[in-house]
Amino acid sequence: MRRITVFLFCIFIFPAITLFAQNKINNYEYWFDNNYAGKTDVNITPVDELDINAALATSGVSVGLHMVHIRARDNNNHYSTTLSQFFQKLPSSISSTKQIVAYEYWFDTDYASKVYSTVSPQSTVLLISNLDASSLQSGLHAFHIRFKDDGGGWSTIESQFIQKVSGGTTVVGKIKAYEYWFDNDYANKKDSTVAPQSALQLISDLDATALPAGLHVFHIRFKDDGDTWSSVLSQFIQKVSGGTLTENKINAYEYWFDDNYSGKVFQTVTAQSELQLMAPLSAQSLSNGLHVFHLRFRDIGNSWSAAASSFFQKFEQNPAITNLITGYRYWFDMADSVMYNTQLTTPVDLYTLNNPLDLSGIHKGNHIIHFQFLDTLKNWSCVTSDSMYKYPTVHADFTQNNSILCDSGLVAFTNNSFDADTFKWVFDDGTTSNLVNPTHFFNTYGTHAVKLIAMDTTESVKDSLTLDVYVAHSPVVNIGSDTTVCPPGIALNAWNPNCTYLWSNSSTDSLIHANSAGQYYVMVINQYGCSASDSINILFNPAPIVNIGNDTTICTGSSIILNAGSGFASYDWSTGATSQTITVDTSGVYSVEVINSYGCSAIDSIHVFLDPCTGTNNPAGNNFVNVYPNPAHDRLTIEAPQNSVIEIFNIAGQIIKSVVQNDDKTIIDISDFLGGMYFVKLVVSGVEPAKTGSRIVMKKFIKQ
């Protein structure tokens, strides 16, 4: 949203009508609205120049908006053109000093959309505010504002042309040219360019040789670096006759307050080309409140300057308080949002400002500095302004969009230097650039110095700044090509020095084990933020299944056939055999490794025990163990020494049940056993008093 900032330094208009002529002025007349018949005629002592500073009687005028007309007559009975101006007659107010309580403003003729705002009652309003102009189209518009006092009366309307420009946010423009002309002779305007600057103080002789003596209008406008013209400033001037004044000097001045010209103070001075007026002016006769101060100067040719007028406020004096200066503040140009405040250690009656001012944020060139002083009563003085030139204080400064690159890359540099007009960038590869904001490509590993040299050519002041750009190695990640493996899988290793890891299975280790089929992905990041990634697809071949049975006991002198199963590509027994089956008759651990057609392997082993057993029910030497009934239906009773370990095998050698006998008799539920032959293996300790160690006893029973 584009906003227009309006600065209003006064809120009442006190018109001063000055008429100039080569003849003598001896009369003027004025009237209100269209009532010329009721005009007032005033004869005066003939003068070359007439300043009307008199109270005009309005007793016959009603409250409201009116127009006053005035014209002057010379000694040839010729009248000047009529000067007219609107004014508002306000109703009587209880307060002798009126206070402003509100204001309203609008654009163009859209009074229906006016913005109304109240303020705390005050005699002077300094309105510094952003006004919303978002609804306006780009182009020329009229801005209107007026103020209301505590008696309900409105001031006259202040109007000014403004231009709303397109293009979004507006940057602060600089003046680069101006043009001026006289009267309506725009065709003969004078053009002049200047060095771009935010504030232009125009002190120059303007050529008026073509103008005849008499009253004229001077017009001037200014152009910024966006080729946008300001509104036209116009002012009446008087060209006097009598030839060229080679060295005109001021020899007198006079001043007065409000419209009391008859009470003016006249003072002569030693003739001088420039007068700095620093004298106390008495305002004892003035009432408290808002007043207007008028001042004008006379030269040695007895011509008076135009009157310079300024508002001021007289405050109520308290004899018990000695009013002193307690502090001051200052700002530059139009940036009154950035004020520098200073509190005096000791209040003084007269203060000489001779302290260093903070110019660190002020760019080189011409500026306007403004001062205000604070007194004991917390009242601020009028603003005192003066022009100044700030010499360049170059400060080199820049930023870069990336200070660390991975392997290579393009870096953009942003120049934030202060008060410089030329720049030189020096890169460590031997190249340079004079661009304000260059870019540079880096493609070698290591630290690269980038130096900016900023210079002001008007005063040959320079400064430099060096920053580094580091080009780092990215991690190297290779977890292998897509593959097909056998169970139990493979290890995937992404290790790099000083890195962090994130795998697709959420692991943050450098090494993981892939034990299922799928895609595996890893991201590796080093300490510089450089990253690399890799992925692998893993498939699994089926693993062979081999089972040569559970550990078993065979009778001494007998043998057992161990079968690894058919369909494998190869067999490798612990005995050295490579056949599908082997026959064993001795105790020991036997193992076999099989490999299927995919090259995947599996291993199984069995422990074979020997026992000197005979018969089916109670082999000789095993009479301390009884198993019954045999055949059995639902329960099997085993009588054996305590702490015997009992294991029941099926005919395939698989353990069906295992218990420890805590008593001399154990009853085992076999109701869920399938019908057939089963083996009972007992590991019995201490069956013969004269012997130590354990003995293995094998029994058989039939489940019906």
Domain definitions of the chain by residue range: 3-164, 175-239, 250-277+287-314, 325-390, 398-471, 483-540, 552-610, 613-703
Query: In the predicted model, is pLDDT for residue 319 greater than 80?
Result: no
**What tokens does 389 get?**
């030139």
pLDDT, tens digit, for every residue of 116-129?
A: 999 888 877 777 67
Q: Are 224 and 176 in contact (CB under 8 A)?
A: yes
- Decide whether 325-390 matches 613-703 in CATH topology: yes
**What is the distance, to the nearest Å, from the Cα of residue 435 to the centroid of all Cα atoms in its chain?**
26
Q: Is the pLDDT of residue 551 over 90?
A: no
**How much is the average pLDDT of 321-332?**
90
pLDDT at 18: 37
Residue 571 pairs with which residues in a beta bridge?
Answer: 594
Buried b / exposed e across 521-548, counting CB within 10 Å, b at 16+? ebbbbbebebbbebebebebeeebebeb
Q: What is the pTM of this model?
A: 0.47
CB 176 within 8 A of CB 194: yes
Q: Which CA distances in Å does 545 have to 58, 92, 357, 618, 691?
A: 123, 116, 93, 38, 43
What span, in angstroms and rounded, lies between the C-alpha atoms of 648 and 280?
A: 128
Distant-in-sequence, close-in-space partners of 94: CB < 8 Å, separation ≥ 6: 151
Beta strands in 507-664 (DSSP E): 511-514, 518-526, 531-540, 552-555, 560-563, 570-573, 581-584, 588-595, 601-611, 626-628, 635-639, 645-650, 655-660
Residues 28-39 have pLDDT tens digits of 999 998 888 889
Q: Which CATH number fits domain 613-703: 3.30.560.10, 2.40.30.10, 3.30.930.10, 2.60.40.3080?
A: 2.60.40.3080
In whole angstroms, give the CA distance from residue 177 to residue 226. 11
- For residues 166 and 138, the answer to whether their CB atoms sit within 8 Å is yes
Predicted local distance difference test score (pLDDT) of residue 9: 28
% of residues, the chain, pLDDT over 70: 90
Tens of pLDDT, residue by residue over 327-350, are: 999 999 888 788 999 999 999 888
DSSP code of residue 96: S
3-state secondary structure 318-351: CCCCCCCEEEEEEEECCCCCCCEEEEEEEEECCC
* Sequence letter at residue 20: F
On average, the pLDDT of the chain sits at 84
Query: Does 398-471 carry CATH code 2.60.40.10?
Result: yes
- Residue with structure tokens 């082999």? 619
CATH no. for 175-239:
2.60.40
CA–CA gap between residue 162 and residue 310 (Å, rounded): 24
For 226-277, how does the pLDDT look when each residue is reduced to its tens digit (9 = 90+)? 888 887 888 777 777 655 555 778 999 999 998 889 989 999 999 988 887 7
Residues 325-390, CATH architecture: Sandwich (2.60)
